[in-house]
Amino acid sequence: FVWHDPQGSKPTDEVTIPEIEGYGTDEWTDWSWNSMLIEGSHCREIIDNVVDMAHFFYVHYSMPTYFKNVFEGHTATQFMISKPRADIDNGTNYDDPNSHLSSDASYHGPSYMIDRILNEVNGMTIETILINSHYPVSDNSFLLQYGAMVRKLPGLSEEENNGIGSQFITGLEIGFEQDIEIWKNKSPIDNPLLSEEDGPVYQLRRWYKQFYVDVEDVTEDMTARFEFEIDTTRALQSWDQEIAENLAKGAPASADA
């Protein structure tokens, strides 16, 4: 991985990004990779998504039923369980309206996230590893790089397994493209007024700050363990209502229509 420290230190074992188990064996499909230059936004904006429960509904078309963050040391984690929106089909639920997705996503340092996703769909469990990484190009642009691989399902052909992988990636791309539109048009706000569904934005930004100061200036409040679970009850109630209204208007619509 890339390590950049203006003070010239070397990475320690402690901050080494963990290896992905099984990578390189034929248990997994090939990676599908994408790179995009995002202009008009500082890469801090992508980090805000770690705590942003509500954007999963609006941007990624899923409904989080469980959402928790843990920040500790140089890692920031988001645990999420979600179900698909009945009014929109973006492909990531593999056409199963009763599917469930659980995602365990950790940033290892400021810009490299490993996300392990388990999709319970049509009686199967589809396991995906998503890498979401970026590096700054300027104060106002960054290069986003992401990719995924799927654990091959026994009994399926190579082609079918790759099909499952690329369907999932296409669904993720639809969501990412919408994230990107937001990043391009989002103004940085240092003291946002938060709603209940916004999550611990301030604590996340304190965690993120450790990567922008000299190591002797890293303070306890940037690295101390912090846990926060959002109560999704109220959000789910209003989303259910919104979905019912959309269905009454003739949804489901395809997300890329």
C-alpha 217/C-alpha 226 separation (Å) is 19
Least distance to Fe ion, CB of residue 73, Å: 24
DSSP label at residue 251: -
For Fe ion, the closer CB: 169 or 222: 169
Cα 137–Cα 138–Cα 139 angle in degrees, nearest 5: 135
C-alpha 257/C-alpha 248 separation (Å) is 18
Q: From 21-29, 120-128, 172-180, 218-226, give the range in contact with Fe ion by CB under 5 A.
A: 172-180
Structure tokens at 11: 């990475």
Q: Does 197 bind Fe ion (CB under 5 A)?
A: no
For Fe ion, the closer CB: 62 or 203: 62
The secondary structure element, H or E, covering residue 248 is helix 233-248
| Cβ pair 110, 119 in contact under 8 A | no
Q: From 100-108, 123-131, 151-159, 174-182, give the range in contact with Fe ion by CB under 5 A.
A: 174-182
Contacts of residue 48, Cβ cutoff 8 Å, sequence gap at least 6: 201, 204, 205
Q: From 4-12, 85-93, 150-158, 175-183, give the range in contact with Fe ion by CB under 5 A.
A: 175-183
Site size toward Fe ion (CB under 5 A) is 2
Q: Does 49 bind Fe ion (CB under 5 A)?
A: yes
For Fe ion, the closer CB: 91 or 152: 91
For Fe ion, the closer CB: 38 or 222: 38
Q: From 44-52, 91-99, 147-155, 180-188, give the range in contact with Fe ion by CB under 5 A.
A: 44-52
Phi/psi of residue 197, nearest 5 degrees: -85, 0
Least distance to Fe ion, CB of residue 55, Å: 5
Classify the C-alpha dihedral 186-188-193-196 as positive or negative: positive
Phi/psi of residue 104, nearest 5 degrees: -130, 95
Q: From 43-51, 94-102, 127-135, 159-167, give the range in contact with Fe ion by CB under 5 A.
A: 43-51
Structure tokens at 149: 């691989």
Structure tokens at 120: 């319970």
Least distance to Fe ion, CB of residue 38, Å: 12
Least distance to Fe ion, CB of residue 234, Å: 21
Q: Does 179 bind Fe ion (CB under 5 A)?
A: yes
Least distance to Fe ion, CB of residue 27, Å: 28
Q: Does 115 bind Fe ion (CB under 5 A)?
A: no
For Fe ion, the closer CB: 194 or 244: 194
Closest Cα to residue 78, out of 116, 111, 107, 105?
Answer: 105
Least distance to Fe ion, CB of residue 182, Å: 8
Q: Are strands 100-108 and 75-84 parallel, antiparallel or unpaired?
A: antiparallel
Q: Which residues are near Fe ion by CB under 5 A?
A: 49, 179
